[in-house]
Amino acid sequence: MRTNHEIDYQIYGEELQFVEIELDPQETAIAESGSFLMMDNGIEMATIFGDGSSQQGGGLLGKLMKAGKRLLIGESLFMTAFTNAGQGKKKVSFAAPYSGKIIPIDLTRYQGKIIAQKDSFLCAAKGVSVGIEFQRRLGTGIFGGEGFIMEKLEGDGLCFMHAGGYVMEKELRQGEILKVDTGCVVAYTSGIDFDIEFIKGIRNWMFGGEGLYFAKLTGPGKVWIQSLPISTLASRIYQYAPQNGGRKEEGSILGGLGNLLDGRE
C-alpha cells in the first residue's frame, strides 16, 4: 500500500514538453518554484517548507533543517503544493524549463530511491522526499561534474525529472561498466556505483576536446543519460552572443561582409 499520493499523468509535446497531472479530491502534487503552467479551478496552491513529506520531521525546526539542506543543491527553501480541494478530478500542469524530455519515474520500481543531478527535479506526488546525497569519493566530488552533493528522491510515488535533448535509459548488469560524459548523467538507481576515470594520453587531454575524465557507472542498476546538458547548451549560446563577436559565419569567407550588409556589424 502506497504512502505517497497516487496520481495519474500525461506528457504533452516532443521537445518542449509539459506534464499534466490528474488529482482526485484531496490529492496533492508538489513542484519546484517556477515550473507551474496551468490548473483547473478548484485546485489550491500553497507554499510549503521543503517537500512536505513525512521525512521532514515534526515541528518547525525539523522542517527548517530538512528544507535548509536544499540550499546546498541550489534550490529554494520552499516548494509549492497543488491540492484538489474541489469535487471530482482536477488537472494541474508543469512545464519543462528548456528543450528536452520529461522523465516519469515510479519509485516503487527502484527500491524507493534514485539519485539525480541538481536542478533535474520537476514535480512529484506529495509524500516523495526530495533530499540530498553526498558523493562518497573525494575524486568523484571534485571531478564528477555534479560536485559533492546530488539530489535524492525517496518514496513510493511518482516523480518527474527533466533532462536536455534526447534521454536514453540503460539497464546495467552486475559489474557492467558504462563510461559517460560527466554532464550527461541525469539520474541513476541506488545500486549503481558512480566513479570517475581519467582519460589516458596527453594528446587526448590537450586536443581531444572531451575534458580530463569520464563518469564511470558500474551496475547493477538503471541510469538515465541526456544528450544535451543545459551547461553545454548555455556555453554554445554564449559563444554566439553579441558581446563575444556576434554571429559566426561557419564555412563562409563572405561572412563578415554579410553581417555588414544586413546591419549586424
Over range 171-177, report the average pLDDT: 96
What percent of the residues of the chain are helix, what percent strand, and what percent coil, each to the nearest 5? 20, 40, 40
Q: Is residue 224 part of a domain?
A: yes
Convert the pLDDT of each residue in 77-119 to its tens digit: 678 999 999 899 999 999 998 889 999 999 999 999 999 988 8
* Res 59: pLDDT: 56
Average pLDDT of the chain to the nearest whole number: 79
* Res 238: pLDDT: 76
Convert the pLDDT of each residue in 196-223 to its tens digit: 887 665 554 554 445 567 888 999 999 9
User: Would you place residue 248 in the very low, low, confident or very high pLDDT band (cuts 50, 70, 90)?
Assistant: low
Q: Among 159, 194, 162, 158, which residue's Cα sits nearest to residue 177? A: 194
Q: Is residue 143 part of a domain?
A: yes
Lookup result for grid cell 515541528: 59
Lookup result for grid cell 512545464: 95
Convert the pLDDT of each residue in 189-198 to its tens digit: 999 998 888 7
CB 73 within 8 A of CB 150: yes
User: Would you place residue 13 in the very low, low, confident or very high pLDDT band (cuts 50, 70, 90)?
Assistant: very high
- Give me the CATH number covering residue 211: 3.60.160.10
pLDDT at 235 over 60: yes
Domain count, the chain: 1
pLDDT at 251 over 60: no
The boundaries of the domain holding residue 155 are: 8-243
Question: Residue 108: CA atoms inside 13 Å, Cβ hemisphere, count?
Answer: 11
What is the SS3 assignment for 253? coil
d(CA 202, CA 11): 45
Proportion of the chain above pLDDT 90, given as a percent: 45
d(CA 28, CA 125): 6
pTM above 0.95, yes or no: no
